[in-house]
Amino acid sequence: MSRHPILQTWTSRRLRWAAVGWVVLALVEYGVVVSSTSSAPPPRRLLPFYGSIALLWTALTPLVAWWERPRGNHMSVVARILVVLAGVTAAGVLDSMARRLVLVAEGMPPWTPFWATWLYFIDVTAAQYCAIVLATRVLGAHDAVVARTRAELVLRAQLARTRLSYLEAQLQPHFLFNALGAVSELAYEAPAAAARMLRQLASLLRTATERRGEEVTLDEELATLEPYLDIQRIRFADWLRIEQLVSPEARGVLVPRLVLQPLVENAIKHGLVGRSSRGRIEILARVEDRVLHVAVRDNGVGLGAAGHTPGHGIGLRNVRERLAALYGGAWRLTLDALPSGGTSVALSIPARRPTRDDDAGTASFGAPDAGRVVEAMRRHPAAATVLGWFLWGSAWVGQSRAYLVLRGRLAEAAMPRVLVTHFAGAALWAVATPIVVWLARRFPVEGRTAPWRAIAHLALATIVALAHALTWRALLGALLRPADQPQWPEAYVTAIFVSVLAYFILLGVGHYGSAMQWLRERENTAASLRAELAESRLHAATSRAQPEALVRELERLAEEVVHDTAGTERAIASLADNLREALDANVSRQALAAAAAVTGEHAIAQPVR
């Protein structure tokens, strides 16, 4: 049974870290109150109070995340606002109840009405509520980044596998051309030998086209190579001797499928050409320092005399591409001249044994729905900053006015003073916002340094909050009369705590923006990879279009060559022509769409340049 999306975001580990965060914020508020308010209760009596608040908000974290879960695009903006207001109201009620109950338990019963407490702390409640919502969005974006990264890696692995499949399929016609030519030569001189070669060709092709992994053990690879070696023994029965010197520990090591055949073919084609005496090919393998060393040696005329350019030819070129796709840079393929004459092709790869690995499926992921409002904020950050803090200042003014009306103190305070006070504080935060967002993107809380960076950001949040309060005080000193100025530091206690919360909210905004930008960039990469994967699958499918039909045709020719040599020769020539056409065919876009349907891929549009 799949877990609820909220539980997938707020895992037990993350909830423990959330509890640590709420405790730290409670300690910050506790420190501000104790150090700035002379009339505060004894510190030992305040600790249970703020500890209870931290516990409450830890419990509220998954509840708020669930309430603010994405509900699709069918909700109107008004409905979304009502959902947020209902959530903030309910959280404020629970917060006020907890505060009052703890005070009663501590022997300090509150003397203010319940709704006065609710109104007084509603700005703090709203900030904490926003922090939870934003943290949920940031964690969701982080999970989407991780899932997208894994999906991209799986996609790259699938692309590598289909490329390997295509390269293997490309090898088969290449080898079949040469083998079919040899069969044509033997058809008249030795029909029985030609029939045997055709059967070995069918066996080799059937083994090569099996749907298996990219790697097999060296022992399996040698068994797969045997039909090919037998074909060469038939072709060069009088002058070719093939020996295998393979250590027992090397036989169980994984190697790429069909990797030995091009190396042996290279030795026969380039090493033994022009010889008049008996030739010898040695296949050697050993394991040393966790590296498998495989060598194919011949006693031919050497590289220069054979007119061979190392590294050229479809066989060895494909081997190099397959090795790079499988092992990255952890491989080596060299061609060297032997002192005694002849050539050695040496291959070195990591010595790995077979393990039981499940096939990686296509990872599923989902990027969080940013929504039209967030998209507009991303496009116009300056306007969003000014508008956001203007709305916060307006809400602050409304909160203060409602509180004063409820307490019957509106006549004591002039509204112009309230307006100047709150809008000045909001304006200062509008100026500080781009700085904090830059700090968030410059020093993200991620990786192994996340705990230390979180501590550093907490220190920065405290410094920014104090700087904001001091600047706010200086600004109000210039705008208001001394009698109208808020008392320092008592009147700034809540503002300092809200500023710390605001810093972390903006920190989350920066992280969320970076994650969403990364996801947008990865969309184009993933689309290109999917298109490339579909094309690679098409090439592989085209090259493997009718392997069974080809096997059956070879087996039929093996039966016919003894009875109808001329007809068999014509059939072989026709078969070779068909293989050549398959290799030289250019893939059209209509074929790409057809292969996409066969391989289960959806139609993919061209990436937008």
Alpha carbon distance 395, 367 (integer Å): 32
Stated as kind and residue range, the H or E segment containing 523 is helix 493-543
Residue 51 counted as domain residue: yes
Residue 118 counted as domain residue: no
Residue 78 counted as domain residue: yes
Alpha carbon distance 15, 46 (integer Å): 24
Total tally of structural domains belonging to the chain: 2
Please give the structure tokens belonging to residue 136. 């949920």
pLDDT tier, 593 (very low <50, low <70, confident <90, very high otherwise): very low
pLDDT score of 454 more than 70: yes
According to the model, what pLDDT value does residue 594 have?
41
Average model confidence (pLDDT) across the chain: 76
- Per residue in 15-24, pLDDT (tens digit) is 888 898 889 8
- Per residue in 155-185, pLDDT (tens digit) is 566 556 655 555 555 555 666 666 777 777 7
Residue 301 counted as domain residue: yes
Residue 269 counted as domain residue: yes
Describe the crossing of helices 450-479 and 493-543 by its angle, rounded to 10 degrees.
140
pLDDT score of 286 more than 90: yes
Give the CATH number of the domain where residue 273 resides: 3.30.565.10
Residue 425 counted as domain residue: no
- Per residue in 57-96, pLDDT (tens digit) is 999 999 998 888 776 556 777 888 889 899 999 999 999 9
Q: Which of 341, 236, 243 is nearest to 278 (CA)?
A: 236
Could you give the C-alpha distances from 545 to 480, 538, 548, in angstroms and in order?
A: 85, 10, 9
The answer for residues whose C-beta is within 8 angstroms of residue 361's C-beta and 6 or more apart is 154
Instruction: Tell which of 336, 353, 370 closes a domain.
Output: 353
Q: Return the minimum-mean-pLDDT range out of 39-53, 407-421, 452-466.
A: 407-421
Residue 295 counted as domain residue: yes
Instruction: Tell which of 302, 322, 353 closes a domain.
Output: 353
Residue 590 counted as domain residue: no
Mean of pLDDT values over 542-551:
59
**Domain limits for position 304:** 253-353
Alpha carbon distance 229, 235 (integer Å): 10
- Per residue in 294-312, pLDDT (tens digit) is 999 988 877 665 555 544 4
Instruction: Tell which of 48, 79, 111 closes a domain.
Output: 111
Mean of pLDDT values over 544-560:
70
